Structure 1
Amino acid sequence: MSDVAAVEQFVKKYKTLKSEVAKVIIGQDEVVEQILISIFSGGHALLIGVPGLAKTLMVNTISKALGLEFKRIQFTPDLMPSDILGSEILDETRHFKFIKGPVFSNIILADEINRTPPKTQAALLEAMQERAVTVAGQHYKLQQPYFVLATQNPIEQEGTYPLPEAQLDRFMFAIHLDYPTFQEEVDVVKATTSDRQAEVNALFTAEEIIGFQHLIRRIPVADNVVEYAVRLVGKTRPNASEAATLVKQYIDWGAGPRASQNLILAAKTHAVLKGKFSPDMEDVQAVATGILRHRIIKNYKAEAEGISIEEIIKSLF
């Protein structure tokens, strides 16, 4: 099949996928779109939102519709790396046998990732970056496609271990979930307090998803779009000559080169989902907030004056 036909097939399947997810998830269109862009670009996503906004249900529904295996890990202060990766045990023949942990799945929901100590966070880091884990000196490959979706509660900071910048950088998107609108909340309450259960059908196979991920990589990008993305990331660095005025005033640290790579990959996926065969600057702008939000560190002045990261990012356009 030619790439043009593959793009057309992808757009068709994506529309069906969105309506399948909408059977269970009411509203949150932008959030669902960003998660799916993340999956088809081969990245991971961090969901930030208060409890009760259906983060877990959303991930579960998306994994069902994608036909992928899904595991949920509830992060707690006493969670050990072996609880995630798996461990070696002595079997009845007195040989060591490796029992796989929940990390061996296609989609991992790392629930409240900032509740667990750095040692356990770091165990997930190798899995995210290398798509493999090392246990007792043995290297184990994880099945493809592999996708980590972590959630974080922004209000409770007691007894939490904030994710270090290096780990945040591993996430392609940081997605903020907002409260639903009045009408959406009415629909949610009606749907969740009745006896009717929506059935979600699996629309993809793992091989198809990997095929679409490769298709995204093959999408051509004009040089001026790549340069625009790199320049946009360069403007977030306060010490750079092209840094924006707001950045020099309110930012301590800007985004690194991984942001530029993710901008282009996500812009390609965004373009394809809109039926285009190559991304333009609008596609880069459409995905920029989710990709830059967690890679820019505000200074004390920005906190004091109530300047949000989103305002600073919008000023870069």
Structure 2
Amino acid sequence: MNSPTLDRSDIAETIEPLDLQGWRGRALDFEREIAKAVVGQERAIRLLTIAVFARGHVLLEGDVGVGKTTLLRAVARALGGAYERIEGTIDLMPSDMIYYTFLNEDGKPRVEPGPVLRHGRDLSVFFFNEINRARPQVHSLLLRLMAERSITAFNQEHVFPHLLVFADRNRIEREETFELPAAARDRFLMEVAISTPSDEKSRRELLFATRFHDVDTLIGSLKDGVLDYRRLNGLANVIQDTIVVSPALERYVLNLWKAIREPGSAGIQIPNVDISRLIAGGASPRGMSYLIRAARVEAWLSGRDMVVPEDIRDIFHECMAHRIFLTPVYELRREEIVRSLIADVFAKVPAP
């Protein structure tokens, strides 16, 4: 693979000093700006902010019409850079992400860049809607895009250094869907639930405040580029190098990892579950390293220079649940069992 050449923004990112305290203020401004477009989603906004600064991709879960697309458009607006969206369908082909062909006004065939290539290096947010409706061949291309932030097309390497991929799954309609392979699921830093707000104030505002009825105008009213997306890679590296993980916390995380992979050895018990036959795989080294990346960002956003156990526990479910693979006999009870497993792991593994 050819190494991408640095443009001016990349050079500025590598040589300008980064003020972590000042950037934390901008991160909180970023959250406040997004909250103007969605209500009752404070938890989801914080998790997406963590993903942005940890430079991790996100898989969204939620019913139809709960605001997933609006939330991501708000994130893209506040980040600056380019936003693209593609719909997962049974007939979508990998080439549809890269280019499309048509006849021009002269009746001659034309080839134009598709959603991945259209904006080049400025692509900041790529949203794959209903990813499980797309064929496995499409998942394979997306997997490379997520893993390497690059693709090969037209005999050329195309690099997207600032890219974050967001996707959601249709969990209601199962016809003509393809479950994501384990390798693809493991590439997502988090799986974040987006649900309908439960409090009456937020529900009333969504229904009766007219600004939420025109999404294009709503997104256009947000401040563009609260963060400079071109500097986030460098900032993410500084956060990871600066926020401390103590030896005691390292041991705690290693014990959590063992308990998730071998729950029987930690004395985990779940009603009507044979613990010895529960886990098929998961909690990979990559997944655990992503957990630490996210925990460091959580500590930084909270104004601390050290990770504490609460940082790990707060994001553990979103970072690890989609990486825990159960044996088929328990898969239909997946949500209930995984929540019970994680809760009992926290109860059995002592925190420092």
Normalised to the residue count of structure 1, the TM-score between the two structures is 0.88
Instruction: Give the paired residue count.
Output: 310
* Partner AA of 2:170 in structure 1: N
Deviation at 1:136, TM superposition (A): 5.2
State the match for 1:221 in structure 2. Answer: 245
Q: Higher mean Cα deviation, 7-16 or 258-267?
A: 7-16
State the match for 1:114 in structure 2. Answer: 132
SS at match of 2:192: strand
Answer yes or no: is 1:71 the counterpart of 2:84. Answer: yes
State the match for 2:235 in structure 1. Answer: 212
SS at match of 1:201: coil
Q: Deviations over 1:197-247 (max 9, x none)?
A: 441002121233233212222123222223322321221114884573445
Answer yes or no: is 1:149 the counterpart of 2:166. Answer: yes
State the match for 1:235 in structure 2. Answer: 259
Deviation at 1:249, TM superposition (A): 5.8
| Runs of 5+ unmatched residues, structure 2 | 1-15, 103-109, 118-122, 347-352
Contact 1:236–1:244 (8 Å) recurs in 2:
no
Q: Higher mean Cα deviation, 16-25 or 262-271?
A: 16-25
Superposition misfits of 4+ residues, deviation over 6 angstroms: 193-196
Matches for 1:19-34 after TM superposition, within 5 Å: 19-34=32-47
In structure 2, C-alpha distance between the alignment counterparts of 1:306 and 1:195, rounded to whole Å: 33
In structure 2, C-alpha distance between the alignment counterparts of 1:135 and 1:275, rounded to whole Å: 43
State the match for 1:177 in structure 2. Answer: 194
SS at match of 1:34: helix
Match of 2:303 among 250, 275, 281: 275
Q: Higher mean Cα deviation, 187-196 or 66-75?
A: 187-196
State the match for 1:307 in structure 2. Answer: 336
In structure 2, C-alpha distance between the alignment counterparts of 1:306 and 1:48, rounded to whole Å: 12
Q: Higher mean Cα deviation, 151-160 or 296-305?
A: 296-305
In structure 1, C-alpha distance between the alignment counterparts of 2:252 and 2:155, rounded to whole Å: 43
In structure 1, C-alpha distance between the alignment counterparts of 2:334 and 2:299, rounded to whole Å: 36
In structure 1, C-alpha distance between the alignment counterparts of 2:62 and 2:264, rounded to whole Å: 33
State the match for 1:93 in structure 2. Answer: none
Contact 2:31–2:49 (8 Å) recurs in 1:
no
SS at match of 1:236: helix
In structure 2, C-alpha distance between the alignment counterparts of 1:61 and 1:274, rounded to whole Å: 22
Match of 1:47 among 60, 65, 71: 60
State the match for 2:9 in structure 1. Answer: none
SS at match of 1:307: helix
In structure 1, C-alpha distance between the alignment counterparts of 2:213 and 2:335, rounded to whole Å: 45
Q: Deviations over 1:162-216 (max 9, x none)?
A: 1011110010101112221133121111234777844100212123323321222
In structure 2, C-alpha distance between the alignment counterparts of 1:226 and 1:77, rounded to whole Å: 44
Q: Deviations over 1:99-152 (max 9, x none)?
A: 53312421100000001100011111101001110225532212x211000011
Match of 1:257 among 278, 285, 294: 285
Q: Rate the CA distance shift 1:180–1:244 in 2: closer, same or farther, 3 A.
A: same
- Identical-pair percentage: 27
Q: Rate the CA distance shift 1:18–1:160 in 2: closer, same or farther, 3 A.
A: same
* Partner AA of 1:265 in structure 2: R
In structure 1, C-alpha distance between the alignment counterparts of 2:230 and 2:153, rounded to whole Å: 27
Normalised to the residue count of structure 2, the TM-score between the two structures is 0.80
Contact 1:107–1:146 (8 Å) recurs in 2:
yes
Answer yes or no: is 1:140 the counterpart of 2:158. Answer: yes
| Runs of 5+ unmatched residues, structure 1 | 90-96
In structure 2, C-alpha distance between the alignment counterparts of 1:58 and 1:138, rounded to whole Å: 33
Contact 1:106–1:146 (8 Å) recurs in 2:
yes
SS at match of 1:293: helix
CA-atom RMSD in angstroms: 2.8
Contact 1:87–1:135 (8 Å) recurs in 2:
no
Contact 1:238–1:252 (8 Å) recurs in 2:
no
* Partner AA of 2:190 in structure 1: F
